[in-house]
Amino acid sequence: MLVLYLYNMGIVVFSIEHTIYTILNNFRSLPMNDFRSMAENRKSFEKELRKLFHTEGVIKEITIISAYFDLKTLDWIHRFSKENKNIKIQIFIDKYSSKIFSNKEIYDNLIQVSKEIDIFLVKSSKLFHSKLYYIKSNKKIKVAIGSLNFTYNAFQKNEEILNVYIEDTNKKSIYIKNIKKYITSLTDKSKSEKVTSKIENNYTNNDLRSLLLDGFIYYESKEQKSFSFTLKLPDALKQIGTDIDPTLEANIVDSLTLERLVIESPNLKEITFPQKDNSQSRWKDYCIETCYGYWSPSYFNENLDKVLKDREKKRKPYFDKIKILLMDNEIELEKAFLKVCRKIRKNLKDNSDWDYSNIKTAKKAWKSWRDTLLKKLNNENFYNRLILGVSKVSPPDVWNDDIASEEFENSFLDSIIYRWSKEAKQSTSNKIAKIIAFNLEGNNEDFDKFYSDTEELKKEIEKWLKKYRDNDNNIFKEWDYN
């Protein structure tokens, strides 16, 4: 019997190994006995899971193959395994796709569940994107293949499609043999690693994907713009090439900074601000610029944390001064702001073109801006981000999109080449470019042929990664030097 289930809302996208794709073609040639729409008959999340993993007879074995999982499905399968201790359960998931290393709760739960369920992290140069559910009982074998990931959203929110094939356990058709062959192939140590008491986030593949995912993306925060009041000047006024007022800097700009506003107040103009450290070179020495931000390997975490702590220490006095200024000088700052508004208004032919020509409107807008800014500054998390000026996130796993993954990889490779062209390859201040050059140049007489070719450079880097994977070494640890 073939059953087609539709799960409501979303996009159906999946890529499957050739052998599995052949099986899907065979599915299409079989009679379709049942068609159900989840939009018409939606049940609870847990009921849908139990329906998927149910078949006639006593269930002996369940295999889940999915690109993604989440805490809700992990919790459910954990409870299900405790209720059904005689069922052998194994799960195959992509190693880098479900925030295993960036989310401590996910990491800890995965370790806990692995004590009772066999969980394998599949290693792939692309996103491991297969979705397959295999349920075997003493009477039937049920296989479901389609777009359905093992996630809450897949079962409850997205539109998904499943081809479900059921046959007698003793039939042993070619379809089931191919399915079992595929499952067995995934247990190979070269393709996956079994979760035990610890999951190593290391360079286990000879590919650029595992390298880039085993790191973090750093980017410069834009919270500092909070210190500028947007004036909403008419376009005609912004195009004037002469100064209206020194507080608006050399040319007319559409914002007013607190530092320059202080100049307008007789009672505040003697205030001086500590030097704000905007140096970038030190933390960027541990990073390579990509289209998603500045990438750095996890190996350099401690180095970067130390550099950024030093940066934070140097920048804090400046922001503390700004905060005190706002808190202690409310009236004086408002007077200075309104003074600037009046000066600008004198240069306008038609006052109605500018919102803050009306002093009452200007005063209300200023108070709202100041109150909002103070509220932000009193938020510890915001204030710390503001002082540091740099934020950190996990790299995006874009390898299910050929264009996005190529863009990510090429931006990384282009930046390496740019660093080499800007400075001597082995004396560059950038540690990543330096380490890669040191290794590749030292082991390849034809180094210059991929000096400006991203495709050739990628091939050489992946050869290098394979070498250190085979030797179970961390590439940056092996070549780290000051």
SS3 (DSSP) at 61: strand
How far lies 117's CA from each of 85, 111, 194, 464, in Å? Answer: 10, 10, 10, 35
How does DSSP classify residue 433? H
Round to whole Å and give the CA distance between 178 and 243: 76
Round to whole Å and give the CA distance between 360 and 331: 15
| Vertex 392: Cα angle to 388 and 396 (nearest 5) | 160
How far lies 287's CA from each of 16, 384, 420, 471, in Å? Answer: 35, 21, 14, 25
Nearest to 145 by CA among 126, 119, 166: 166
pLDDT tens, position by position, for the chain (482 residues)? 334 444 433 333 333 333 333 333 333 333 333 434 444 334 578 888 888 999 999 999 999 999 888 889 989 999 999 999 899 999 998 877 766 766 778 888 888 888 888 988 887 666 788 899 999 999 999 999 998 999 988 888 888 888 899 999 998 888 899 999 999 888 875 566 777 766 665 545 567 888 888 889 999 887 667 788 888 887 766 655 445 565 555 445 678 888 888 888 888 878 888 877 666 568 999 999 999 999 999 889 888 999 999 999 999 999 999 899 999 999 999 999 999 888 888 877 766 678 888 899 999 999 999 999 999 999 998 899 889 989 988 888 787 777 898 999 999 999 998 888 776 555 568 888 888 888 776 555 555 555 678 888 888 888 888 776 655 556 676 555 44
Nearest to 16 by CA among 156, 128, 98: 128
In the prediction, which pLDDT does 134 show?
A: 96
Residues 33, 2: contact at Cβ < 8 Å?
yes
The two structure tokens encoding residue 124: 């792939």
Q: Which uninterrupted H or E stretch holds 92? A: strand 88-94
Alpha helices per DSSP H over 216-358 = 235-238, 258-262, 281-284, 301-328, 330-346
Round to whole Å and give the CA distance between 437 and 198: 33
- Strand-pair partners of 146: 162
The two structure tokens encoding residue 147: 């777009």
Which residues lie below 8 Å from residue 102, measured CB to CB, with a gap of 6+? Answer: 393, 394
* Residue 476, number of CB atoms within 10 A of its CB: 22
Residues 358, 293: contact at Cβ < 8 Å?
no
Residues 256, 247: contact at Cβ < 8 Å?
yes
Strands 2-7 and 88-94: unpaired
The phi, psi pair for 6, rounded to 5°, reads -110, 125
Round to whole Å and give the CA distance between 1 and 37: 17
Only one residue has tokens 């180094």, namely: 447
Nearest to 134 by CA among 196, 200, 90, 99: 90
Domain ranges, ordered by start, for the chain = 2-200, 209-217+395-479, 218-392
Residues 227, 258: contact at Cβ < 8 Å?
yes
The two structure tokens encoding residue 161: 């499609």
Residues 20, 159: contact at Cβ < 8 Å?
no
How far lies 289's CA from each of 213, 222, 296, in Å? Answer: 15, 17, 9
Round to whole Å and give the CA distance between 433 and 426: 8
In the prediction, which pLDDT does 35 show?
A: 38
Only one residue has tokens 């210190």, namely: 227
> How far from the centroid of its chain's Cα atoms is residue 114's Cα?
25
Strands 88-94 and 59-66: parallel
Strands 293-297 and 132-137: unpaired
* Residue 88, number of CB atoms within 10 A of its CB: 14
Give the global pTM.
0.63
Round to whole Å and give the CA distance between 7 and 155: 7
| Fold classification of 2-200 (topology level) | Endonuclease; Chain A (3.30.870)
